[in-house]
Structure 1
Amino acid sequence: MDPKELPSNIREDKISEETKKLISSLPSHIDYQGHKLCKYQGCWYYYNTLQGVLNFQRGFQPHDTDIIIASYPKSGTTWLKALTVALLERSKNHSSDDADHPLLYDNPHGIIPFLEIDMYHESSSPNLAKFSATPRLFSTHMPLHTMHKTLKHSPCKIVYVCRDVKDTLISCWFYSTAIYKIEPTRSVLESMFKDLCDGTNYFGPFWEHLLSYWRGSLEDPNRVLFMRYEEMKAEPRDQIKRLADFLGCPFTKQEEESGSVDEILDLCSLRNLSSLEVNKTGKINNVDHKIFFRKGDVGDSKFFLTREMENKIDMVIQEKLQGSGLKF
C-alpha cells in the first residue's frame, strides 16, 4: 500500500529531528502490518501520533469551557461525538431536521477533531480560529495521565467512553483491515489479539487507558465523566440525560415530554448516521467515513473469538483491574 494512502497518524512524515532522537531512546514494537510503534509515558504510539502528542503537550492552551471526548480506539467514539454535538446544538435551536444541522453535512470526526491526530500532528501552535464558538469540542485517544500537566489547572470537562475489550478488538480488526484494504483474516486477528494481551497495541495497554480515566472520574467526578458503551446501548435515554447533565445542558421537563431525547437518539443512531450521504461518500485523514459505521452490537466478539481467546482476555482484565473497583 502506498504510504501516502495511509491515515496521517500511521505515517512517519511529520516527525521532527528532536522527536526522532527521542524515539531512538524509547521501547519499540512493530505491528502486524510492519508499522513501527514506540512507548512514551506508558502508552504505545505510531511515530506521527507521538509527534502530535508532543506538540499537544507543548502547545495546547485549554479554555475553561472546553469539552474533550476521550476513548480507547473503537469504543463508541463516533456515537459519543454525535450525541455531544446534538445535545449542544439544542441551545442554538437546531432540531434534527434542520438543513444546517452539523451532523447532516459533516462526519462526527470532522466536527470534533482529535487533538493528537488532527489538530496538533504538524505543529504545537495550529490555527484554532475555527474553534471560536463556546464550548470548543475536541477529542483524544490519549490516556488521561498523558494530558495531566497540560490540563492540570483547567476545569474543562472530559467525557470518556469505555467498551468491552473483546468487542473493541473485533471492531479494531474490521476497521484496521478496511483501512489497509486487506482481508480480515484469522492470522491478522490473532496477531492483534496477542498485541492486545501483551499491551503493545496502538494506544495500549488498554488496561492503563481504562484505569487512567476511571481514577480520574473517581477523583474529580465533576470534571471527568466515565461512560460505558454497554449501558448507553441498554439504557440510552438515561445515559443521554446523564451526559446532558454533565455537559451543563440538561433536558427540561418540556423537552422530555415533547420527545427531544428520542429525537436526538434517533438522529445519532447508527442506522441514521450511516445512511446520511456525507457518511457514505466523505473522507477524513484518508479514511472513508463509511468505515466508521459497522454494526455497533454488544457481544459481537463471541462470533469471532475462540473460547480460549475470550478466557485469556477476561483473565488479563481481571488481573490488571484488580483492586480498582472497575469491573466488566
Structure 2
Amino acid sequence: MFSSNSSSIHFTHIEATPMALASDKQANEENELILSLPKETGLSSTPYLYLFQGFWYPTDNVEGVNKFQKHFHAKDNDVFVASLPKSGTTWLKALTFGIVNHQRFSSFDNHPLLSSNPHELVPFPEFMYSHDLHDQILSLSNMSEPRLLSTHLPFPSLPESITKSNCKIIYICRNPFDTFVSAWEFFTKINSVSLPKFTVEEAFEKYCNGIMVYGPWWSHMLGYWNESITRPNKVLFLMYEDLIEDTVFHVKRIAEFLDSPITQGGESSTVIENIIKLCKFETMKDLEVNKSGYLQNIAKKHFFRKGEIGDWINYFSPSMIEKLSKIIEEKLGGSGLSFKVHS
C-alpha cells in the first residue's frame, strides 16, 4: 500500500498473517492437486472431470472430497443417503427424511418437505466442504441428531470415519439405461453456453467409458453392492425400479433398517402411507418450492423431470442397446447385481 502527498510517496509494508499464509498455501496445494490429475470432458456441470482416486469428479468437487475425507467425523447414529446422480436421489432423500423425522414432524399438513427442497434438508458434505471449511464443520456439528446427510461419493472414497463407524448408509441404484438418459437430460439443461455440449451419441460414448460425474458407474454400484452383502446392517441397497413398483414394501425396509419406531407402532401402515403420499413425485414436482429458485446455481425444477422407468427406449438405437448390454454383462456379470430393464 502507499500514501501520496505533494513531495513524496511512502510505501507501507504489510506482513501477511499466519492465517493468510496458511490459506494461500492450501489454495496452492489444491491447485497443484487439480493440475496433477488426468482430465476429460464428460457429463458434468463443469468443463472438465478429473480422475481422483479412481473416479471422475467435477473441478470444484475435488477440493470438497479431499476435505471431506480429512475433516469429517461421523457419529454412530448418522444416516447417509448415497447414490450416483440421477438415480432417484431426490425421492430417496425425501422418503428417508420423512422416516427419520416422523416423530419430530408428525403433522403432514405443515411438514418441512412442503416448504423446502429435499436437497436443502439432506445436505451433501462434499459440496459443503468446497466452501469455507470452518463454517461447514460448525454447521454439521450443530445439526440435530440423528444427522441425515447424503453423498454421491463411491464407497472406497468415503471418509474412514463413515466406513468404520456404526452409521448407516442407504444406497439407491437405477438401471444404467435410464440413469444415462436422466443424466444427459439434466446436464444438457443446466449447463451454460460456455460448457461443452454433447449429442446423445457423444455423451453415450463417454458414459460407456465410465466418464461421468462419480463414474465409472459400474464401480460406483459395485462398491455399495458388495458392501451391502458383506455388511447388511451397514448398507441397505435399493433398486429404483423396485421402489417404484412396491413403494410400501421398500419404505418399510428402510424403516426397519433404520430401527425406526414406525415399525413398532400400531399405526405404522398409516404413517408409512402418509410419508409415501407426501413424497410422491408428482406432489413434490408441483410444490412451489421445487418449481422456483436455485440450489448450487441449478434451478430446482431441473431436479424433477419424469421419474419414469423405461424412458431410455425413446433415446437408444439398437446398436446403443447392444453396446450397453454387453458392458453391463462384462462389468457386473458374476456379481449378483442385475437389472430389470423395462422397454
- Give the TM-score taking structure 2 as reference length: 0.85
Query: Which SS does the other structure have where 1:69 is aligned?
Result: strand
Whichever residue aligns with residue 77 of structure 2, its letter is: T
Q: Is the 8 A contact 2:82 2:153 kept in 1?
A: yes
Deviation, 1:215, is: 1.0
Matching of residue 156 in structure 1 with residue 167 in structure 2: yes
Do the aligned partners of 1:32 and 1:191 also contact (CA within 8 Å) in 2?
no
What corresponds to 1:72 in structure 2? Answer: 84
1: CA distance, partners of 2:67 / 2:287: 34
Q: Which moved more, 1:122-131 or 1:23-32?
A: 122-131
Q: CA RMSD in A?
A: 1.9
| Aligned match of 1:112 | 122
* Selected match of 2:244 from 226, 229, 233: 233
In the alignment, the residues of structure 1 paired with residue 177 and residue 56 of structure 2 have an alpha-carbon distance, to the nearest angstrom, of 19
Partner of 1:248: 259
Give the greater-gyration-radius structure (CA).
Answer: 2
Say which of 189, 193, 196 aligns to 2:200: 189
Match of 1:274 in 2: 285
CA-CA distance at 1:143 after TM superposition: 0.1
Deviation at 1:179, TM superposition (A): 0.6
Amino acid at match of 2:101: E
Partner residue, 1:143: 154
- The alignment covers a number of residue pairs equal to 307
Whole-Å separation in 1 of the counterparts to 2:180 and 2:228: 24
Partner AA of 2:237 in structure 1: F
Q: How much has 1:322 moved relative to structure 2?
A: 2.0
Letter in 2 for 1:50: V
In 2, distance between residues paired with 1:129 and 1:236?
31
**Matching residue's letter, 1:120:** Y
Match of 1:220 among 211, 231, 235: 231
Residue pairs, 1:1-328, within 5 angstroms: 16-31=27-42, 35-97=47-109, 99=110, 101-117=111-127, 119-125=128-134, 126=136, 127-128=138-139, 131-147=142-158, 149-180=160-191, 188-249=199-260, 250-252=262-264, 254-257=266-269, 259-328=270-339
CA change 1:32–1:96 in 2 (3 A) is closer
Distance change in 2, residues 1:130/1:147 (3 Å) = closer
Query: Structure 1 pair 93/124, CA: closer, same or farther in 2 (3 Å)?
Result: closer
Q: TM-score, normalised by structure 1?
A: 0.88
Aligned-partner residue type, residue 48 of structure 1: D
Amino acid aligned to 2:62: L
CA displacement 1:205-225 (0-9 Å, x = unmatched):
000000110011111110111
Shift in Å, 1:273: 0.4
What is the alpha-carbon distance in structure 2 between the residues aligned to residue 231 and residue 129 of structure 1? 32
Q: For the Cα contact (< 8 Å) 2:77–2:147, is it kept in 1?
A: yes
Report what 1:5 is aligned to.
Answer: none
Instruction: Choose 171-180 or 238-247, whichever is displaced more.
Output: 171-180
Residues in 2 aligned to 1:133 and 1:37: alpha-carbon distance in whole angstroms: 34
Cα distance in 1 for residues equivalent to 2:186 and 2:247: 25
1:222 match: secondary structure: coil
For the residue of structure 1 that corresponds to 2:158, the secondary structure is: helix
Instruction: Determine if contact 2:72/2:159 at 8 Å carries over to the other structure.
Output: no
> In structure 2, what is the Cα distance between the partners aligned to 1:36 and 1:262?
43
Contact 2:168–2:258 (Cα < 8 Å) also in 1: yes
The alignment-based identity, stated in percent, is 39
Residue 192 (structure 1) shift: 1.5
How far off is 1:93 after superposition? 4.9
| Runs of 5+ consecutive residues of structure 1 not aligned to the other structure | 1-14
Asked if the contact 1:55/1:123 (under 8 Å) is kept, the reply is no
Tell whether the 8 Å contact from 1:28 to 1:38 is kept in structure 2 after alignment. yes
| CA–CA distance in structure 1, aligned partners of residues 105 and 217 of structure 2 | 39
Cα distance change of structure 1 residues 286 and 123 upon mapping to structure 2, 3 Å threshold: same
Is the 2:70–2:159 Cα contact (8 Å) retained in structure 1? no
**Deviation string, structure 1 residues 88-125 (Cα, Å, up to 9, x no partner):** 2212252321x2x11011100010111212x2112444
Q: Please report how far the alpha carbon of residue 40 of structure 1 lies from its aligned counterpart in structure 2 after TM superposition.
A: 0.9
Name the amino acid aligned to 2:164: H
Residue identity in the other structure for 1:104: L
